[in-house]
Amino acid sequence: MTSVNDDSAARGPYAKGIQRRREILDRALEVFAEKGSESTSLRAIGEAIGVSHAALKHYFESREALLVEVLRERDVATAVAVGETSGPLGSMPAAADLNVTIPGLVALHTVMMATAIEPGNEIARKFFTERFATIRRTISDQIAENLAQRGIETDVDLTNLSSLIIAASDGLQIQWLLDDSVDLAGSLKLLERITAPKP
């Protein structure tokens, strides 16, 4: 029979493992925010973030798995930083303003998105496929709510419109990575004006 104390002891190493994984992700976020994914191997990434290769292998099955989790954490951090915003495009312009302060993570996002279409990168493919589906639903719902509040009816397919908005946002990010004079947030705000139907 397991006592309460035994149960607490069993949870101890598990809690420490979660904390250690969290620390690794936090450190990886800091490094990639500055440098992107310059390090090619899991071992090189470990050296860059000050974590042993064995520790990384314990918590992440591959380089791809680690980088996807970094992107997932970046999405969570962005959602917290941006908060609730209104408008058909929701938080996208505000997120763009934040992105220009973390070029390494924007570059990592772009590289991993391209990697996801290549065979053998199922972790990245699953992450981006689900991410796009979630964003399409969110944008579509936001546009539908905005139209309903303004008493506007439309025959536009909002899911297709959402796909176009995502494509514009990702394309703008690539342009900005190549030329930082591109105004990410300003371009998205203009897109919001263009795509918001008038009464």
Q: Is 197 left (phi over 0), alpha (psi -120 to 50) or beta?
A: beta
Q: Which residues of 75-110 are buried (b: 16+ CB within 10 A; e: fewer)?
A: eebbeeebeeeebbbbbbbbbbebbeebbbbbbbbb
Q: What pLDDT score was predicted for residue 92?
A: 85
49-90 pLDDT per residue, tens: 788 888 888 888 888 998 999 999 889 888 888 877 666 677
pTM: 0.81
The three-state (H, E, C) secondary structure of 82-100, written as one string: HCCCCCCCCCHHHHHHHHC
Q: How many structural domains are present in the chain?
A: 1
Report the CATH number that the domain containing residue 107 is assigned in CATH: 1.10.357.10
Boundaries of domain holding 100: 4-195
pLDDT in tens, 26-46: 888 887 777 666 656 777 778
More confident call, 168 vs 38: 168
CB 85 within 8 Å of CB 103: no
3-class SS of residue 46: helix
